[in-house]
Structure 1
């Protein structure tokens, strides 16, 4: 008898396959954002663009930055980055709204 792996073990999917599927999803979201930019949807175009950008940032953070399985320090660093980007968006929005 050979000492092979037990039948109870399940093979993990290849990281390359996972990365390619996330890349394909990001390319699909890119195509969707390009489509949304050229259709005359009025003021909802900006909301659609920001929503798609948030989904893409979530994909990058969860899969490529490994925040799902990262150490607490890595998660805290990612959270700090999103905190500061939220502050920058709020300040930009306040500037734009005061110029109207």
Structure 2
């Protein structure tokens, strides 16, 4: 008695695999080309967008997500949405990194005994304090 598998393998023509491979190479070339264009903060956005398209192509065709049960596609989509949400919140931090107050050097206590030298006026060692 032979067992019949309820799952069916999805054998795709070689033409599809080659087309997806060429698309991945083209997207990689576009990513490299765009990196030389000064877009400011949008360089990261463009690179992430292209990387997302490449990941989608790999998931749909090489992982056969396009031809599998739809629940797997839903799980994949929800995971990608959460990843995009986390990356978006992380990108908010990159816009605010320069807002930290600059520390200025100032003596801790000008007349502290630790700063008194042998018979000479030694300068007070600098410390870090917040500006006024």
More helix by share: 1
- TM-score scaled by structure 1? 0.68
Q: What is the rounded CA distance, in whole Å, between the counterparts of 1:73 and 1:51 in structure 2?
A: 24
Which residue is 1:76 aligned to?
74
1:19 aligns with 2:8: no
CA offsets per residue over residues 51-99 of structure 1, 9 Å max, x none?
2122212212221222222113311321232123123212312322342
- TM-score scaled by structure 2? 0.55
**Greater relative CO, 1 or 2 (CA 8 Å, sep 6+):** 1
2:83 to 85, 89, 94: 85
More strand by share: 2
- What's the offset of the Cα at 1:48? 2.3
Q: What is the rounded CA distance, in whole Å, between the counterparts of 2:74 and 2:50 in structure 1?
A: 24
Q: What is the rounded CA distance, in whole Å, between the counterparts of 2:22 and 2:61 in structure 1?
A: 13
The unaligned stretches of length 5 or more in structure 1 are 1-13
The unaligned stretches of length 5 or more in structure 2 are 1-11, 99-132
Q: Does the residue aligned with 1:40 lie in a helix, a strand or coil? A: coil
2:31 to 30, 33, 38: 33
